[in-house]
Amino acid sequence: MTLRSKAENIWYHYKYHILAGIFILGTLIVCLHSCATKPEFDIQVYYVTGSSSMYNEQLAWIESAVASHCGDVNGDGEVTVAVTGLRVGENSDATQRAQYLNAVQAGDVMLLFGDEGGIDYLYRNGYLQPLTDFSDALDGEGYAWQVTGSAVSLQTEGFDVFSAPLYVSLRTFDDTWSSVRPGVKDNYQIARDTLSSMIGVSSEN
């Protein structure tokens, strides 16, 4: 039997196995490539607003401000901050809101910026922890620190894109089910250190 005949015989008997193997191998390669090229952010942040309007410039300002206080946590040589905007209230999309808040519940996002409506929503739903050990100058029943008017608001140009006062808060950590998940404690500590740096800079001025 010639080599061609052998190949044709194998293909005839095992073509579905071969095709399935090629499909699985291709899928594995795509998944590995996706994992290898997926950006690893130093910190993930949400900007939560009760307003009907939200602008890319607002997210960009938060990204720059957080980057200057976060540092290169993962040691890859650059500071990368992922900022996601989330609308809450009657102007929000229920499906998107649930999807994003799942990340907060899971402990993936610990540092939360917001306007008064956004912070109030997070507070009423039990997402925030008191910040009394950070500062005495707090709003939102002691659960939010006002960025507006602080030294931090002057560090990065373009703060005037916020038409309403901007606040920052921490997601509650202790005694939550997500606190036992791998990596959540690290997320919390990074967020805590970042917020502490922001408040510290303002208290020095």
Q: What is the CATH number of the domain that holds 79?
A: 3.40.190
Same domain, 54 and 18: no
Alpha helices by DSSP H, listed for 107-156, are: 116-124, 151-155
Same domain, 81 and 142: yes
Same domain, 8 and 70: no
Same domain, 176 and 93: yes
* Spatial CA neighbour of 178 closest among 186, 168, 167: 186
At 204 the pLDDT is: 55
- pLDDT lower than 70: segments of the chain: 1, 3-4, 7, 26-39, 91, 136-137, 139-140, 175-182, 201-205
Same domain, 130 and 159: yes
At 156 the pLDDT is: 77
Same domain, 50 and 141: yes
Same domain, 10 and 52: no
Same domain, 59 and 143: yes
Q: How many CB atoms lie within 10 A of CB 155?
A: 16
Same domain, 95 and 8: no
Q: DSSP letter for 50, please.
A: S
CA gap 137, 144 in Å, rounded = 9
Range of the domain at 12: 1-38
At 154 the pLDDT is: 86
At 36 the pLDDT is: 41
Number of structural domains the chain divides into: 2
At 177 the pLDDT is: 56
Same domain, 31 and 49: no
CA gap 169, 41 in Å, rounded = 20
Same domain, 102 and 77: yes
Q: Please, which residues bridge with residue 44 across strands?
A: 82
Beta strands in the chain (DSSP E): 43-49, 81-87, 111-114, 145-146, 167-170
Q: Write the CB contacts of 190 (distance below 8 Å, at least 6 apart in sequence).
A: 42, 43, 70, 73, 110
pLDDT tens track for 33-73: 444 434 578 899 999 998 878 889 999 999 999 998 988 87
Same domain, 119 and 69: yes
At 193 the pLDDT is: 93
Angle, nearest 10°, between helix axes 56-70 and 184-204? 90
Q: Using CB atoms within 10 Å of the CB of residue 172, give its burial: 0 to 12 exposed, 13 to 18 middle, 19+ buried.
A: buried
At 78 the pLDDT is: 86
* Spatial CA neighbour of 65 closest among 145, 131, 8: 145
Q: DSSP letter for 44, please.
A: E
- CA dihedral (50, 53, 57, 60) in degrees, to 10, reads 30
